[in-house]
Amino acid sequence: MKNYSGVMVFVEQKNKEIHRVSYELLGKARELADQINEEVVCCLCGPSEIDANELIYRGADKVFHVQDEEIFGNPEVMTYVENIVKIIEEKKPEICLFGATSFGRSIAPRVAATLKCGLTADCTGLAIDEEDMKLVQIRPAFSENILAHIKSQYLPQMATVRYKEFDEAKRDESKTGEIINFSSVKIKNNPIEVLEEITEEVFNITDARVVVSAGKGLKSPEDFKMIEELAAVLGGVVGSSRPLVEDGFISKAHQVGYSGNRVKPNLYIACGISGAPQHQAGMKEADMILAINSDPSAPIFNIADYGIVGDIYEIVPQMIEKIKNKKA
Amino acid sequence: MRIIVLMKQVPDMEKVKFDREKGVIDRKSAGTEINPFDLNALEAAVQIKETRGAEVVAVCMGPPSAEVALKEAISRGADRGILLSDRKFGGSDVKATAYTLAAGIKAIGEYDLVFAGIQTVDGDTGQVGAEVAQFLDIPHIYFVEKIVEANEESVTVVTDIWDGVYVKKMKLPGLVTVTKDINSPRLPAFKDKMKSRKAVIPAWGMDELAEFLDETETGRKGSATMVKKIEVPKAVHRKGLLWRDNMDTALNEFMDILVDKKVIEVE
């Protein structure tokens, strides 16, 4: 019998709500598990109230639910690591997947170092090598310029996986599976204390269907009003390139790019954005891209489906009017 | 108080070339620089040094030529630099790199805080910091965008994590990785630049680290992952219909596309 078996998904939750990346991982995990003839299992750390059945409906054969009403209510890395390590050591999955969210990327390396196994960061592709049935982990590196194919030499084969890269597992209430509850491990004298969550505006650019972004072509912070209006008539949200965030025009939650958010909307409109590689890294996977820029040689036009060479101060207001007329 | 800053020398990403046919990175095609995020880590350490006094030690793992990165760190406010360099460290993955850096930190002796950038622009993993912390058996906080307070006992920081912004306090010793938002790194003054040229950078290899480093845990041997293949994907190129004049026609045509693609719902 093999020592290690199964594809484990770490399920991320906040306030009892399951992060959607976990459903994407479940979809991929099912595919991989079927290829190697193994089970899909979940490691869920959170209050007992969370309905673990949802994970069964999304394709898990087993859910290991580490229950605690308090300690999983904060992004406290040490506590999560301790509990996840305990489950992995006991259940010995062959493959272990984490969402490459800020939280996943903060805990997974610590889990891997504890177990002395490998960890591949921020994967955009996962496949089984048919020759040795091992996991091939594909990830961009060198600021998105190359794709590396990586294999782990130890078990479990562990990776963090980029959000919005795979489709969510379909929900099917007729699916059955097993939920096994575990009690939590608490850390004595935890060196880290979470003092408070600074509640800021709840704004999530990564889920938007339409993103209208502005770049250096925008002259003053007030001019974001017209960008906001265009986003509003299209049912979308406002994005920004890095320089405007640095100059304090708009908050970081709106930043699109390598060091900001990666978005994949149905429509991305780039207004006055030249299109540096760092910006492209955050938006090049949009379904449709429209670029508006007065400089016809701006690199943004190379990756845009449609381009308008012109002044955003003339075009954006006209576009708002035309959309309003269409909808009227 | 002693603060250690982890640094990496990386190729200049604006200039580095990639060979699609061979699937290789042509490192000679560009110069090198300090990983940009590490400059934020260094600046954060130097700011603490300025307000309450501290020794700042920059640590870099790399070839002998990476010495220049540590000299630059000194010109930017580090008190000294230590290079971890040995042929046997070559080919290290995240685990082996973190293990080797942790050995270097142990060899320095006492320390209070370890700073690192959130990721490097070449490896792009963002995993080394947390693994170093685990190998040192100290806590870590990632994605730090502000230091509220730092003293010998603890550090209080603002961190952007878990779809929120949190204030966390960590007992020291501990490790922190910083984002670009934490500060704007200063440029070195001319006289500091000149002075740093004369700095002597000790290079520690297997022999110097013997007490803290097991040969089987570093380099290719100590790595848990292997790169099997490198692909250089074609730059994304879209068909690009470009309107240059007659904005009214352009916008009308684009409206039709939006309706056609159901971005705008028309009754």
**Residue B88: inside a domain, yes or no?**
yes
pLDDT, position A1: 43
pLDDT single digits (tens) B177-192: 999 999 999 999 999 9
**Residue B243: inside a domain, yes or no?**
no
**Residue B263: inside a domain, yes or no?**
no
Q: Is A135 found in the same domain as A12?
A: yes
pLDDT, position B36: 95
**Residue A199: inside a domain, yes or no?**
no
- Residue B57 in contact with residue B83, Cβ under 8 Å? no
Q: Is A259 found in the same domain as A222?
A: yes
Cα separation, B91 vs B111, in Å, equals: 28
Q: How many CB atoms lie within 10 A of CB B108?
A: 14
- Mean pLDDT, residues B199-215: 97
Q: Say whether A122 and B126 touch across the interface (CB within 8 A).
A: yes
The b-or-e profile of A173-191 (16+ CB within 10 A means b, else e) is eebebebeebebeeeeebb
- A152 to chain B: which residues are within 8 Å by CB? 224-225
Q: Is A70 found in the same domain as A219?
A: no
Nearest chain B residue to A191 by CA distance is B171
**Residue B228: inside a domain, yes or no?**
no
pLDDT, position A327: 84
- A21's tokens: 């990346």
- Pick the residue of B19, B145, B238 with the most A CBs within 10 A to test the interface with A by mutation: B238
Q: Say whether A307 and B261 touch across the interface (CB within 8 A).
A: no
Confidence class for position B15, pLDDT limits 50, 70, 90: confident
pLDDT, position B264: 87
pLDDT, position B146: 96
Nearest to B143 among A74, A102, A143 (CB): A102
pLDDT, position B70: 98
Q: Is B118 exposed, middle or buried (0-12, 13-18, 19+ CB in 10 A)?
A: buried
**Residue B257: inside a domain, yes or no?**
no
pLDDT, position B26: 86
Nearest chain B CA: its distance from A104 CA (Å): 9
**Residue B126: inside a domain, yes or no?**
yes
Nearest chain A residue to B180 by CA distance is A259
- B239 to chain A: which residues are within 8 Å by CB? 305
pLDDT, position A201: 55
Query: What are the Cα distances from residue A328, in Å, to A199, A212, A325, B252, B266?
Result: 38, 21, 5, 15, 8
Q: Say whether A118 and B224 touch across the interface (CB within 8 A).
A: yes
User: What total of structural domains would you count in chain B?
Assistant: 1
CB pairs under 8 A between A and B: 259
Q: Say whether A148 and B231 touch across the interface (CB within 8 A).
A: yes
Domain ranges, residue A175: 7-183
Q: Is A96 found in the same domain as A59?
A: yes
- Residue B112 in contact with residue B97, Cβ under 8 Å? no
SS (H, E, C) chain A: CCCCCCEEEEECEECCEECHHHHHHHHHHHHHHHHHCCCEEEEEEECCCCCCHHHHHCCCCEEEEEECCCHHHCCCHHHHHHHHHHHHHHHCCCEEEEECCHHHHHHHHHHHHHHCCCCEEEECEEEECCCCCCEEEEEEECCCCEEEEEEECCCCEEEEECCCCCCCCCCCCCCCCEEEEEECCCCCCCCEEEEEEECCCCCCHHHCCEEEEECCCCCCHHHHHHHHHHHHHCCCEEEECHHHHHCCCCCHHHEECCCCECCCCCEEEEECCCCCHHHHHHHCCCCEEEEEECCCCCHHHHHCCEEEECCHHHHHHHHHHHHHHHHC
- A114 to chain B: which residues are within 8 Å by CB? 134
Q: Say whether A113 and B166 touch across the interface (CB within 8 A).
A: no
Average pLDDT value over all residues in chain B: 94
Query: Does pLDDT of B86 surpass 60?
Result: yes
Query: Does pLDDT of B126 surpass 80?
Result: yes
> Which of A167, A180, A204, A223 is closest to A27 using CA atoms?
A167
- This model of the complex carries an ipTM of 0.93
pLDDT, position A254: 95
pLDDT single digits (tens) B36-70: 999 999 999 999 999 999 999 999 999 999 999 99
B234 in reach of chain A (CB within 8 A): no
Residue ranges of B 51-90 with Cβ closer than 8 A to chain A: none
Q: How many degrees, rounded to 5, is the angle at CA A138 between CA A1 and CA A259? A: 130
Nearest chain A residue to B170 by CA distance is A192
Token look-up 């060196």 returns A191
- Pick the residue of A72, A105, A241 with the most B CBs within 10 A to test the interface with B by mutation: A105
**Residue A194: inside a domain, yes or no?**
no
**Residue A219: inside a domain, yes or no?**
yes
**Residue A2: inside a domain, yes or no?**
no
pLDDT single digits (tens) B108-118: 999 999 999 99
Nearest chain A CA: its distance from B194 CA (Å): 31
CATH number at residue B61: 3.40.50.620
Nearest to A141 among B122, B245, B261 (CB): B122
Q: Is A319 found in the same domain as A230?
A: yes
**Residue B258: inside a domain, yes or no?**
no
User: What total of structural domains would you count in chain A?
Assistant: 2
Domain ranges, residue B193: 2-217
- Residue B206 in contact with residue B74, Cβ under 8 Å? no
- Pick the residue of A81, A98, A143 with the most B CBs within 10 A to test the interface with B by mutation: A143
**Residue A188: inside a domain, yes or no?**
no
> Which of B108, B105, B111, B35 is closest to B73 using CA atoms?
B35
Q: Say whether A234 and B161 touch across the interface (CB within 8 A).
A: no
pLDDT single digits (tens) B132-154: 999 999 999 999 999 999 999 99
**Residue A193: inside a domain, yes or no?**
no
pLDDT, position A2: 58
Count CA atoms closer than 13 A to B60's CA, side-chain side.
32
Token look-up 């099912």 returns A30
pLDDT single digits (tens) A83-105: 999 999 999 999 999 999 999 99
Q: Which residues of chain A have pLDDT under 50?
A: 1
**Residue B239: inside a domain, yes or no?**
no
CATH number at residue A237: 3.40.50.1220
B10 in reach of chain A (CB within 8 A): no
- A170's tokens: 């379909």
Q: Is A141 found in the same domain as A72?
A: yes
- Residue A236 in contact with residue A267, Cβ under 8 Å? yes
